[in-house]
């Protein structure tokens, strides 16, 4: 049996690997088992035991860069969970793996022991939290007042009609952005749209989407990536001034994986009369072309490309409606995914948001760090919004999305274009 003091020496040893086998929500900060403090041991990697039932574990372990030759200590909520992961890793060739059984009773209960969590974990909710909220309960970190649940999609009401989380409204992204430019709508239009949904500046809004639609062979940014639509709506609502925007981690698939029911009954919004604050409430969260030009030239900021590598170096534009290929000169490659329809480097294999420390470490190698003023751009703002939300959830202070993105930049003949590897 490993003592807590011995475990502490392993946590402090950079050559030792610590694995947290609890659900990802617990790792991020939610207190799922009533522990005194939410979060994880500093430096621990998230490997939920539940993943062993349905994931390609060789790919998972390789993706996390775990080395079978290094000593590993595993902890979880229950001793059986830690022991099960130890046995599983041993079968995969990890020869130096031991369990630690004192996380709840000793580590989390001792305020002198360090705990790390996702800064804004309350805004990345899990299915049990949402289920309790819908059922009239009082989950951890409840809304302070009224709340609205939205099923996000792009111009695809059938996606909502075929099954949604009970109580959810249908939210077409076209309500918040213009289909001609894919930019956010004007302040007046946004205010009216939000009021029509029953949303004020102090309404808690919970957003989710669906990752795939079986009737579509070709990918479409809304029909095949509804959770990306949820991230887009989250960014625009934050920009508008909604103070408490939350996203269901893993979207509707996480809800279904938890064995929770769907509904086909449509839900009508209950409009409200006043937003209660000026729109936009956070204009700094979105920038336009002049600000993007200034940021590229700034020593204290980075314009971050959320294009795929082939888009970034100019092999193709990534979109059938964008002719020019390449990137904004001076933009840093964000390495978030392979193309306009995949954000695999920001997600786990179950499409939950990736362990935040992994995202931060990958970005830091490119100079994308919280000390800088960062603005993310892609083709039209959708992927950039998901990158923004990852950084925002980590509590990074100076963030924005360049809303016009490559669509707007490449359409201006006065703008330079860069191609090839930088």
Catalytic site positions = 378
Using only C-alpha atoms, the chain has a radius of gyration, in whole angstroms, of 22
| Sheet order of strands, 124-125 included | 124-125, 244-248, 204-208, 147-153, 169-172
Alpha-carbon torsion angle 390, 395, 398, 403, nearest 10: 30
The CA distance from 367 to 385, in Å, is 19
Q: Are 147 and 204 in contact (CB under 8 A)?
A: yes
The CA distance from 285 to 240, in Å, is 9
For 330, residues 6+ apart whose C-beta sits below 8 A from its C-beta are 296, 297, 303, 418
Q: Are 311 and 278 in contact (CB under 8 A)?
A: no
Q: In a 10 Å sphere around its CB, with 0-12 CB exposed, 13-18 middle and 19+ buried, how is residue 154 labelled?
A: buried
The CA distance from 236 to 282, in Å, is 10
Here the tokens at position 223 are 């029909």
Nearest C-alpha neighbor of 274 from the set 378, 191, 183, 189: 191
Q: Are 97 and 17 in contact (CB under 8 A)?
A: no
The CA distance from 133 to 140, in Å, is 10
Distance of CA 59 to the CA centre of its chain: 21
CB atoms within 10 A of CB 232: 32
């Amino acid at each position: 049996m490993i003592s807590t003091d011995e475990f502490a020496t392993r946590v402090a040893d950079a050559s030792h690997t610590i694995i947290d086998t609890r659900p990802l929500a617990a790792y991020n900060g939610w207190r799922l088992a009533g522990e005194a403090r939410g979060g994880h041991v500093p430096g621990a990697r998230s490997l939920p035991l539940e993943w062993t039932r349905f994931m390609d574990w060789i790919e998972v372990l390789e993706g996390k860069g775990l080395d079978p030759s290094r000593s590993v200590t595993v902890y979880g909520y229950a001793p059986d969970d830690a022991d099960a992961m130890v046995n599983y890793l041993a079968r995969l060739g990890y020869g130096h793996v031991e369990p630690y059984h004192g996380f709840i009773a000793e580590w989390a209960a001792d305020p002198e022991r360090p705990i790390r969590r996702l800064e804004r974990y309350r805004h990345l909710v899990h299915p049990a939290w949402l289920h309790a909220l819908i059922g009239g309960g009082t989950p951890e970190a409840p809304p302070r007042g009224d709340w609205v649940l939205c099923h996000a999609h792009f111009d695809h009401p059938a996606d909502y009609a075929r099954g949604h989380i009970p109580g959810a409204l249908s939210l077409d992204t076209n309500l918040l952005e213009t289909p001609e430019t894919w930019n956010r709508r004007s302040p007046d239009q946004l205010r009216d749209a939000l009021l029509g949904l029953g949303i004020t500046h102090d309404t808690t809004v919970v957003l989710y989407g669906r990752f795939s639609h079986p009737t579509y062979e070709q990918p479409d940014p809304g029909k095949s990536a509804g959770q990306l639509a949820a991230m887009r709506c989250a960014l625009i609502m934050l920009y508008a001034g909604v103070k408490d925007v939350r996203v269901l981690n893993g979207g509707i698939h996480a809800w279904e994986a938890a064995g929770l029911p769907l509904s086909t009954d449509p839900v009508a919004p209950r409009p409200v009369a006043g937003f209660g604050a000026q729109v936009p409430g956070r204009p700094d969260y979105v920038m336009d072309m002049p600000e993007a030009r200034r940021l590229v030239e700034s020593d204290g900021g980075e314009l971050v490309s959320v294009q795929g590598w082939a888009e970034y170096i100019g092999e193709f534009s990534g979109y059938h409606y964008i002719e020019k290929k390449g990137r904004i000169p001076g933009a840093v490659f964000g390495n978030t995914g392979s193309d306009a329809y995949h954000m695999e480097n920001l997600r786990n294999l179950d499409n939950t948001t990736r362990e935040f420390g992994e995202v931060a470490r990958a970005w830091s190698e490119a100079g994308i760090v919280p000390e800088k003023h960062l603005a993310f751009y892609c083709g039209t703002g959708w992927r950039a919004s998901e990158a923004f939300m990852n950084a925002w959830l980590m509590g990074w202070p100076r963030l924005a999305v360049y809303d016009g993105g490559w669509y707007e930049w490449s359409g201006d003949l006065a703008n330079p274009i860069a191609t090839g590897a930088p």
